[in-house]
Amino acid sequence: MNMKWNLDTLYTSFESNEFLNDIKELDTNITKLNSWVEKELIESAAIQDNNAEIGNIIRKYLDSYINIRKLYSALSSYAELTFSVDASNNTAKKYTEILEQKLPEITKATVKFTRWISLVKNIDKVIKNSGLLKEHSFYLNEISNNSNYLLTDKEEVLASKLKNTGSNAWSQLWNVLTSKVKVDIEINGEKKELPLPVVRNMANDADNNIRKNAFYAEIDVYKKFDEAAAGALNSVKGEVITVSELRGYKSPLEMTLINSRMDEKTLNAMFSAIKEYLPVFRKYFKKKAELLGHKKGLPFYDLFAPMTKQLVDKEDNESELTFTYEQAIEFIVNKFRDFSDNLADYAENAFENNWIDAEQREGKRGGAFCENLHVIGESRIMSNFDGSFSGVTTLAHELGHGYHGHCLKNESFLNSDYPMPIAETASIFCETLIINAAIKNASETEAYTILENSIQSDAQVIVDIYSRFLFESELFEKRKDSSLSVKDLKNIMIGAQKESYGDGLDQDQLHPYMWACKPHYYYADFNFYNFPYAFGLLFAKGLYAEYLKTGNSFIDKYDNLLKETGKNTIADVTAMMGIDIQSPEFWKSSLELTAKDIDKFISCAG
């Protein structure tokens, strides 16, 4: 089986006529759109009651805008995908940078159109009369509503320019600080200087001394740059507060929710269910602490300690959970087929047509991702398959993203984009299918390890994410009045962890510097980049619970749900499945799945 992907359906090379012509066409279309907007988009046309004329203008704009976005997407995907598996490809790098500058060239035109459309008084009537407009009704209404938050043209330009020397620069500084800093650490009597991510990864080490030393060395290293990181954080959050106030949002949280097409009632329902289940997670942390010989709850450094069960017989000992690539494919496709033919066919097709680059090789980026190429109705998946079980679940996860794109294949380009909280639904759903199937097939010891691993990662996404939400809420609240010192930030973080983890963690062994190590706090465009993770996990699990309850009748509804994610609010799209995400009951049914796993783990652990 070929473990490299093939991008020929996009372009055959950077030198090909198709690629070069598309770049030219993109430039021409951008120029055309800009001059059309300047000439034709006069305010009076919107205010007049000439619905037919207004409809024509919107159609022209949509055609031209969609065309630009599609060309841009094909070109930039080709450059980015090529670069992601070949860091030494300078042509790919050059085109990525060239293309990055193209989209801002239409910002002024899109802002102008947004402002113009908000002046149309009876937009619903206009939309009703045209197929193309009806198809884009959600999109048009959304930009029209969001136009309330636009600043004046001059302010918009100023804000976007100042961002480069403001939040973007601070975020860049944080990046440099954390990527350049070296951690002093002693491993087996040998002194070393290691990058921060390497030392943080040691939290997964089987050796408890390594985990503990790595943790203390990590905490020590933050002292080298905590003043600078705090400065960056205060500046990023300060800018967000200023801009969101100026735009007229009640708070940065309101801004985030609107951008996520989500409402506060849903957020509160989710968190109230999470709060109710915190004691269940604490039971798990305490059990893990006990198994590792701790008396006062789990120290932070042992959160990720791998758990293996005392082996009962020798045969079990020899069974290792490893897969060849072919075995992984077979396992995934078979288990997907138990769920639905559509999903299995999609995966089979992806493997057969070389949509997946799974080989580990030099020059390739780490980790894994899926890129849905709506413009050609295909997807590409990058992973670094290492034969481990987590390598298999990663593939299943990314195939889930790809299947989401597959369900959106026949939607308009502008209806194929879905908001952050719903982005992880299909991926986690597929992962859950595979994990549950694997537990069924595994030996006792394997099943124990898989189960603990899955609880461990759920606990991160629920309990740790909750602490991050508490931290960020308090940070925004206090930052309104003045900047916060390193000591303030550490105290808020410790307070948030105590409230979230409770007595599950050793209260003297917490992590006061989580704000200095997580990139999410430093993105000015993505505030509260925490609750979407909890939403994604619990929503996918809730769907899985629904599937277990209703069986095959669930499958068509599931495909339809994915298809609708690009053109509805989250509450509306979930209501189509008969799920009320504004009620805590739905979230509790998801949490109950992990609660059952925790009970199983505790009884297996003895």
Residue 423 beta carbon to Zn ion: minimum distance, rounded to whole angstroms? 7
Residue 314 beta carbon to Zn ion: minimum distance, rounded to whole angstroms? 39
Question: Near Zn ion by CB under 5 A, which window of 97-105, 225-233, 419-427, 550-558?
Answer: 419-427
Residue nearest to Zn ion (CB): 427
Residue 400 beta carbon to Zn ion: minimum distance, rounded to whole angstroms? 8
Which residue, 168 or 427, has its beta carbon nearer to Zn ion? Answer: 427
Question: Near Zn ion by CB under 5 A, which window of 148-156, 219-227, 296-304, 420-428?
Answer: 420-428
User: Which residues in the 543-562 window bind Zn ion by CB under 5 A?
Assistant: none
Written as six digits, the tokens of 8 are 């020929």
The span from the CA of 417 to the CA of 222, in Å, is 38
Residue 381 beta carbon to Zn ion: minimum distance, rounded to whole angstroms? 11
Which residue, 291 or 426, has its beta carbon nearer to Zn ion? Answer: 426
Q: Is 372 a residue that touches Zn ion (CB under 5 A)?
A: no
Residue 431 beta carbon to Zn ion: minimum distance, rounded to whole angstroms? 9
- Buried/exposed code over 222-247 (b: 16+ C-beta within 10 A; e: otherwise): beebbebbbbbbbbbbbbbbebbeeb
Q: Is 415 a residue that touches Zn ion (CB under 5 A)?
A: no
**Residue 406: which of 359, 358, 341 has the closest Cα?**
341
Question: Near Zn ion by CB under 5 A, which window of 214-222, 373-381, 424-432, 467-475?
Answer: 424-432
Which residue, 237 or 541, has its beta carbon nearer to Zn ion? Answer: 541
Question: Near Zn ion by CB under 5 A, which window of 97-105, 426-434, 437-445, 506-514?
Answer: 426-434
The span from the CA of 261 to the CA of 38, in Å, is 31
The CA–CA distances, whole Å, from 587 to 467, 483, 502, 543, 592 equal 18, 36, 21, 10, 9
Question: Near Zn ion by CB under 5 A, which window of 266-274, 403-411, 423-431, 585-593?
Answer: 423-431
Q: Is 530 a residue that touches Zn ion (CB under 5 A)?
A: no
Residue 369 beta carbon to Zn ion: minimum distance, rounded to whole angstroms? 8
**Residue 492: which of 505, 511, 517 has the closest Cα?**
511
**Residue 570: which of 282, 188, 138 has the closest Cα?**
138
Written as six digits, the tokens of 574 are 């979930």
Count residues near Zn ion (CB under 5 A): 1
Residue 537 beta carbon to Zn ion: minimum distance, rounded to whole angstroms? 11
Q: Which helix (H) or strand (E) holds 187?
A: strand 182-187
- Torsion sign over Cα 191, 196, 200, 202: negative
Which residue, 514 or 540, has its beta carbon nearer to Zn ion? Answer: 540
Which residue, 77 or 445, has its beta carbon nearer to Zn ion? Answer: 77
Which residue, 398 or 506, has its beta carbon nearer to Zn ion? Answer: 398
Question: Near Zn ion by CB under 5 A, which window of 387-395, 425-433, 460-468, 583-591?
Answer: 425-433
Which residue, 375 or 396, has its beta carbon nearer to Zn ion? Answer: 396
Which residue, 427 or 456, has its beta carbon nearer to Zn ion? Answer: 427
Residue 397 beta carbon to Zn ion: minimum distance, rounded to whole angstroms? 6
- Classify burial at 585, counting beta carbons within 10 Å of its beta carbon; exposed 0-12, middle 13-18, buried 19 or more: exposed
Write a three-state SS string for 3-47. CCCCCCCCCCCCCCHHHHHHHHHHHHHHHHHHHHHHHHCCHHHHH
Question: Near Zn ion by CB under 5 A, which window of 26-34, 199-207, 421-429, 514-522?
Answer: 421-429
Residue 2 beta carbon to Zn ion: minimum distance, rounded to whole angstroms? 24
Q: Is 427 a residue that touches Zn ion (CB under 5 A)?
A: yes
H runs (alpha helix) in 181-324: 196-201, 208-222, 226-247, 252-259, 264-291, 314-318
Residue 84 beta carbon to Zn ion: minimum distance, rounded to whole angstroms? 15
Which residue, 178 or 427, has its beta carbon nearer to Zn ion? Answer: 427
The CA–CA distances, whole Å, from 509 to 205, 497, 503 equal 18, 11, 11
Which residue, 241 or 543, has its beta carbon nearer to Zn ion? Answer: 543
Contact (Cβ atoms closer than 8 angstroms) between residue 117 and residue 147:
yes
Dump the DSSP string for 427-448: HHHHHHHHHHHHHHHS-HHHHH
Residues that bind Zn ion (CB under 5 A): 427
